[in-house]
Amino acid sequence: MKNKLEELRKERGIKQEELAEAMEVSRQTIGSLENGRYNPSILLAFKLARYFEMSIEDIFIYEEDSE
């Protein structure tokens, strides 16, 4: 699964750490999502979508059989 987190975050001009605080997760979690080390939980995906005022589907790109 790919995502637009880094792009969206930079558009807003905020640091990983600031986004992490807003989402109530660690900075490392945001970094790991941006760099594709793992996928978010659905709860974190919802929070990110709400934060960026977009749908989950617009931020996270699901490709069949991607892990």
- Under 8 Å between Cβ of 23 and 47: yes
The residue type of 6 is E
Q: By CB under 8 A, name the one of 20, 27, 39, 52 that touches a second copy.
A: 39
| Rounded least distance, CB 49 to DNA, Å | 13
- Classify 53 as helix, strand or coil: coil
Q: Does 33 bind DNA (CB under 7 A)?
A: yes
Contact 47, 54 (CB under 8 A): no
The residue among 1 and 14 lying less far from a second copy, judged by its C-beta, is: 1
For residue 62, the 8-state DSSP code is -
Contact footprint for a second copy (CB under 8 A):
1, 39-43, 45-46, 49-50, 55-57, 60, 62, 66-67
